[in-house]
Chain A
Amino acid sequence: MDWTLIFSRAVESGIGTEAVIYALAAIGLNVHFGYTGLLNFGQAAFLAVGAYAIAVTVSTFGLPFFLGVGIGLLLAVVLALLLGIPTLRLRADYLAIVTIAAAEIVRLVVRSVALEETFGGTDGIQAFSDSFYGLNPYPAGQYNLGSIIGFDERTMWVLTVGWVLVAASCFVIYLLMKSPWGRVLKAIREDEDAVRSLGKNVFSYKMQSLVLGGVIGSLAGFIFALSRSAVQPDLFSTELTFYAYTVLILGGAARILGPVVGSAIFWALLVLISTGLEEAVNSGVITFITVNQVGPIRFMLVGLGLILLLIFRPQGIFGDKREIALDAR
Chain B
Amino acid sequence: MHADEAVANRKDGAQAVFAGLATEPGVAKPDPILVVDNVVRRFGGLTAVDVAHVEIQRGSITALIGPNGAGKTTFFNQLTGFDNADSGEWTFNGRRMNGVSAHKVARLGMVRTFQLTKALSKLTVLENMRLGAQNQLGESFLRALIPSLWRKQEDEITERAEELLQRFKLDAKRGDFAGSLSGGQRKLLEMARALMVKPELVMLDEPMAGVNPALTQSLLGHVKDLRQQGMTVLFVEHDMDMVRDISDWVIVMAQGKVIAEGPPDTIMSDDRVIDAYLGAHHDAPLSAEEEERQLAEAEAALVAEAGLASGAGPNETVTTRKEPVDE
Which residues from chain A sit less than 8 Å from chain B, CB to CB? 172, 175-176, 178-184, 186-187, 189-191, 193-202, 208, 212, 322-323, 326, 329
- CB 8 Å contact bits of B263-280 with A (1 = contact, 0 = none): 000000000000000000
Task: Indicate whether B64 reaches chain A with its CB closer than 8 angstroms.
Answer: no
> Of all chain B residues, which has the CB nearest A202?
B103
List the B side residues contacting A172 at CB < 8 Å.
145
Contact between B120 and A179, CB atoms less than 8 A apart = no
Supplied contacts A186-B123, A322-B177, 18 more A-B pairs, CB within 8 Å = A176-B145, A179-B138, A180-B137, A183-B127, A190-B120, A193-B118, A194-B119, A194-B190, A195-B120, A196-B101, A197-B82, A197-B111, A197-B112, A197-B113, A198-B132, A199-B197, A323-B177, A326-B121
A198 and B139 in contact, given A183-B130, A187-B123, A191-B120 (Cβ under 8 angstroms): no
Contact between A181 and B111, CB atoms less than 8 A apart = no
| Size class of the B contact interface (CB-based, 8 Å) | 35 or more
Q: Which of B121, B130, B190, B197 contacts A180 (CB 8 A)?
A: B130
Task: Indicate whether B136 reaches chain A with its CB closer than 8 angstroms.
Answer: yes
Q: How far is the CB of A307 from chain B (nearest CB, A)?
A: 24
**Cα–Cα, bound, A326→B181 (Å):** 10
- CB 8 Å contact bits of B101-128 with A (1 = contact, 0 = none): 1111011000111100011111100011
Q: How far is the CB of A256 from chain B (nearest CB, A)?
A: 15
List the A side residues contacting B150 at CB < 8 Å.
179-180
Contact between A199 and B103, CB atoms less than 8 A apart = yes
List the B side residues contacting A196 at CB < 8 Å.
82, 101-103, 106
Task: Indicate whether B303 reaches chain A with its CB closer than 8 angstroms.
Answer: no
Contact between A181 and B138, CB atoms less than 8 A apart = yes
List the A side residues contacting B106 at CB < 8 Å.
196-199
List the A side residues contacting B122 at CB < 8 Å.
186, 189-190, 323, 326
A198 and B197 in contact, given A183-B123, A326-B180 (Cβ under 8 angstroms): yes
Task: Indicate whether B52 reaches chain A with its CB closer than 8 angstroms.
Answer: no
Contact between A326 and B179, CB atoms less than 8 A apart = yes
List the A side residues contacting B179 at CB < 8 Å.
326, 329
Q: How far is the CB of B87 from chain A (nearest CB, A)?
A: 22
> Of all chain B residues, which has the CB nearest A180?
B138
Contact between B131 and A195, CB atoms less than 8 A apart = yes
**Cα–Cα, bound, A172→B141 (Å):** 11
Task: Indicate whether B193 reaches chain A with its CB closer than 8 angstroms.
Answer: yes
> Of all chain A residues, which has the CB nearest B127?
A183
Contact between B136 and A180, CB atoms less than 8 A apart = yes
Contact between B193 and A181, CB atoms less than 8 A apart = no
A181 and B121 in contact, given A193-B114, A195-B131, A199-B107 (Cβ under 8 angstroms): no
> Of all chain B residues, which has the CB nearest A178?
B147
Contact between A179 and B134, CB atoms less than 8 A apart = no
List the B side residues contacting A195 at CB < 8 Å.
120, 131
Contact between A199 and B134, CB atoms less than 8 A apart = yes
List the B side residues contacting A176 at CB < 8 Å.
141, 144-145
> Of all chain A residues, which has the CB nearest B106?
A199
Contact between A179 and B144, CB atoms less than 8 A apart = yes
> Of all chain A residues, which has the CB nearest B130?
A183
**Cα–Cα, bound, A322→B130 (Å):** 21
**Cα–Cα, bound, A175→B106 (Å):** 28
> Of all chain B residues, which has the CB nearest A204?
B103
Contact between B131 and A184, CB atoms less than 8 A apart = yes
> Of all chain B residues, which has the CB nearest A176?
B144
Contact between A180 and B107, CB atoms less than 8 A apart = no
> Of all chain B residues, which has the CB nearest A193?
B118
**Cα–Cα, bound, A136→B248 (Å):** 77
List the A side residues contacting B180 at CB < 8 Å.
322, 326
> Of all chain B residues, which has the CB nearest A191?
B118
**Cα–Cα, bound, A289→B265 (Å):** 85
A190 and B121 in contact, given A180-B144, A180-B154, A197-B80 (Cβ under 8 angstroms): yes
List the A side residues contacting B121 at CB < 8 Å.
190, 326, 329
Task: Indicate whether B140 reaches chain A with its CB closer than 8 angstroms.
Answer: yes
Contact between A194 and B120, CB atoms less than 8 A apart = yes
**Cα–Cα, bound, A172→B193 (Å):** 29
Show 22 A/B contacts (Cβ-Cβ < 8 Å), sorted by A: A180-B130, A180-B138, A180-B150, A181-B140, A183-B130, A186-B123, A187-B127, A190-B120, A190-B122, A191-B120, A193-B114, A194-B118, A196-B106, A197-B80, A197-B102, A197-B194, A198-B103, A198-B106, A199-B106, A200-B103, A322-B177, A326-B122
Contact between A197 and B114, CB atoms less than 8 A apart = yes
List the B side residues contacting A197 at CB < 8 Å.
80, 82, 102, 106, 111-114, 118, 194
Contact between B139 and A193, CB atoms less than 8 A apart = no
Contact between B139 and A194, CB atoms less than 8 A apart = no
Contact between B120 and A187, CB atoms less than 8 A apart = yes
A198 and B177 in contact, given A179-B145, A183-B123, A191-B118 (Cβ under 8 angstroms): no
List the A side residues contacting B140 at CB < 8 Å.
181
List the A side residues contacting B134 at CB < 8 Å.
199
List the B side residues contacting A193 at CB < 8 Å.
82, 102, 114, 118
Q: How far is the CB of B81 from chain A (nearest CB, A)?
A: 8
Identify the 7 closest CB pairs spanning chains A and B, nearest first.
A180-B138, A181-B144, A179-B144, A194-B118, A326-B179, A199-B106, A190-B120
Contact between A175 and B145, CB atoms less than 8 A apart = yes
Q: Which of B111, B138, B141, B144 contacts A198 (CB 8 A)?
A: B111
Contact between B193 and A198, CB atoms less than 8 A apart = yes
Contact between A187 and B131, CB atoms less than 8 A apart = yes
- CB 8 Å contact bits of B67-105 with A (1 = contact, 0 = none): 000000000000010100000000000000000011110
**Cα–Cα, bound, A172→B194 (Å):** 31
> Of all chain B residues, which has the CB nearest A188?
B120
- CB 8 Å contact bits of B144-166 with A (1 = contact, 0 = none): 11010010001000000000000
